[in-house]
Amino acid sequence: MTKLFYTNGDSFVFGMECIAPTNKSEENKIYAFPKYVSNHLGAETYVNNAYLGATNDFIYKQTIIDLLELEKAGQDLSEVFVLIGWTSLNRIEIDGDRWYSLVPGAIEYLENNKNNPEIPAEYLDFGTLFVNPSSGQQIDSNDKIYNTADEVLPFTVQYLWTDIVQQPQQYARIIALHEFLKAKKCKHLFVNTVDVMHDTFELTATNFYNLHLDSFAKYAVSNYPEEQQEMYHFSKIPHEAYAKIIIDYIEQEKLS
Amino acid sequence: MSKILYANGDSFVFGMECIDHYDKTPANKEFAFPKQLADLMNIDTHINAAYNGATNEFIFRNTLLDILNFEKQGYAPEDVFVLVGITSLHRIEVDANRFFEQIPKDFVNKKVINDPMFPVEYHKYGTMFVNPGFGFGVNHYETNTVVNVDQLINPWCSNYIWTEKVQMLSQEARILSLHEILKAKGYRHLFVNTVCSLERTKNIDMSNKNFYKLETDSFYHWAKINHPTAQRKFNHFDTATHKAYAEDLHQYILKTL
């Protein structure tokens, strides 16, 4: 029996643009593919802790911390179903204040305007910023453009965002979270949202859905290209269709 | 009783400079505190998988994968005692090929690779561990090329990622998840700090008996106070210091684990 459904991941798990193009509101989570899976499993509580732009390290650590907190609060983890959407390997979390301090007056502005929806949620919650090759922060101040890409990408592309560095780390995260969830008797399923893992890494557990082959984005682009939105996410139609595939897999492999 | 003591960690777990100043050879492992602890616990087989300069992520990753390999080989969890040395938060593993590609390949293959400072992890993983104290660099005079981690890597990391805001939660999650996995599988285990204490954590229960003085102490801190004259040129410690620390750990294990 699943009482609580917990999911973590990136903007695809968040459901960004499900409601409308460019829409990043929390309401999107109700239309994201995990919600349909949660409904099918009859969960009383749906917790979607995905963040836009989240890194795989963030997804890992936040899932561990959240589940241990739930356990501490008295939740029996054997009644929890965990759905993880692993994201692309080329992402990083940086210290937000270190970047904002490059922009004159930015720190003060952020301090006084915490309700501004343009401020990234991860900065408000953790003081950090997620950066990847296609998204980050850009501020136009006094005719000068400040961009996280200029500060971050030259280093990360050169030294960190390579398969030699990223693939083993991601493999360890997948295995570690799987072992942790097994240890806690949590039912669980891992899917990719963007990238796939090299087939040199052994990922054979039934809890891993096509991690070598497929991702939500690949599926949606192939099957629902017309549903792709302005910021490369998808309407709720591919989310619902993908959820059906995930539900069939959960049933077939008796994961719930 | 355990049959294997498995240790993973950084240069302090490796036992760097136990034999002599500057000595980074694997022979040091025979004198490092994990080996001394194995002797005190009457454990015959001692596996020290530490690397000089290892990052916490590397230590976590390889401990987990090594443990799973033990299981595949048929070892029972109760046969293995796991000792994890947690290192400083300010370390990173970078693609070493991307560092060395900036200098002529021949020079790297003939000269640089024989430098005693050359990162040995490159041979197995293709990567290089970098931290603020690792001033590795290469000068190639013929092409007037200088590549140095102090210029190319440390400034960016110090500015954007070597901060508690970025590092602490990741480290907490690693410790907590590895502990929970080891506990569930039935491995006896102990986590110690090697460089600095883990202050200001929000998510770790420091009263947990598997966490040895994580909030207050480290091997380095303990050695500096108790064996100040035993410190080596590269800031590591001699064999006697390692032995004394192993004795403290052994007493703790007898009393609490």
Is residue A147 within 8 A of residue B35, CB to CB? The reply is no
Residues A57 and A181 reside in one and the same domain? yes
Instruction: Specify the pLDDT at position B228.
Output: 97
CATH code of the domain in which B47 resides = 3.40.50.1110
Contact B127 A64 (CB under 8 A): no
- Strands of A121-235 (E only): list them: 128-131, 138-141, 144-147, 187-192
Cross-chain CB nearest to B170 (options A57, A162, A179) = A57
User: Percent helix, strand and coil across chain B, each rounded to 5?
Assistant: 45, 15, 35
Contact A98 B180 (CB under 8 A): no
Using a CB–CB cutoff of 8 Å, tell me whether B166 touches chain A: yes
pLDDT in tens, A153-210: 999 999 999 999 999 999 999 999 999 999 999 999 999 999 899 888 889 999 999 9
CATH code of the domain in which A245 resides = 3.40.50.1110
Instruction: Specify the pLDDT at position B1.
Output: 81
Residues, chain B: 257
Using a CB–CB cutoff of 8 Å, tell me whether B120 touches chain A: no
Number of domains chain B is built from? 2
Residues B156 and B170 reside in one and the same domain? no
User: Measured between beta carbons, which residues in chain A are less than 8 angstroms from residue B126?
Assistant: 164
Residues A76 and A189 reside in one and the same domain? yes
Residues A33 and A84 reside in one and the same domain? yes
Residues B10 and B136 reside in one and the same domain? no
A160, A180, A215 - which closes a domain:
A160
Query: Which candidate, B57, B186, B180, places its Cα nearest to that of B127?
Result: B57
> Containing domain of residue B144, as a range?
93-160
Instruction: Specify the pLDDT at position B246.
Output: 98
pTM: 0.97
Which segments in chain A show pLDDT lower than 50?
none
Residues B50 and B98 reside in one and the same domain? no
CA distance B232 to chain A (A): 31
Instruction: Specify the pLDDT at position B116.
Output: 86
Alpha-carbon torsion, ordered A19, A9, A77, A181, to 10 deg: 150
Residues A15 and A139 reside in one and the same domain? no
Cross-chain CB nearest to A165 (options B95, B159, B178) = B95
Residues B130 and B234 reside in one and the same domain? no
Query: Which candidate, A216, A188, A212, places its Cα nearest to that of A10?
Result: A216
Cross-chain CB nearest to B166 (options A94, A180, A182) = A94
Residues A86 and A98 reside in one and the same domain? no
Contact A175 B68 (CB under 8 A): yes
Number of domains chain A is built from? 2
Which segments in chain B show pLDDT lower than 70?
none
Residues A51 and A141 reside in one and the same domain? no
Using CA coordinates, name the residue in chain A closest to B97.
A159
Residues B150 and B218 reside in one and the same domain? no
Residues B86 and B107 reside in one and the same domain? no
Contact A65 B159 (CB under 8 A): no
Residues A127 and A117 reside in one and the same domain? yes
Instruction: Specify the pLDDT at position A1.
Output: 84
A-B contacts (CB, under 8 Å)? 103
pLDDT in tens, B30-51: 999 999 999 999 999 999 999 9
> Containing domain of residue A102, as a range?
92-160
Residues A117 and A173 reside in one and the same domain? no
| Bridge pairing between strands B127-130 and B92-95 | antiparallel
Query: Which candidate, A195, A203, A218, A216, places its Cα nearest to that of A171?
Result: A203
User: Measured between beta carbons, which residues in chain B are less than 8 angstroms from residue A60?
Assistant: 173
A106, A135, A160 - which closes a domain:
A160
Contact B57 A169 (CB under 8 A): yes
Residues A171 and A151 reside in one and the same domain? no
Q: Which residues pair with B8 in a beta bridge?
A: B84
Instruction: Specify the pLDDT at position B134.
Output: 86
Residues A120 and A54 reside in one and the same domain? no
Cross-chain CB nearest to B97 (options A96, A164, A169) = A164
Instruction: Specify the pLDDT at position A135.
Output: 86
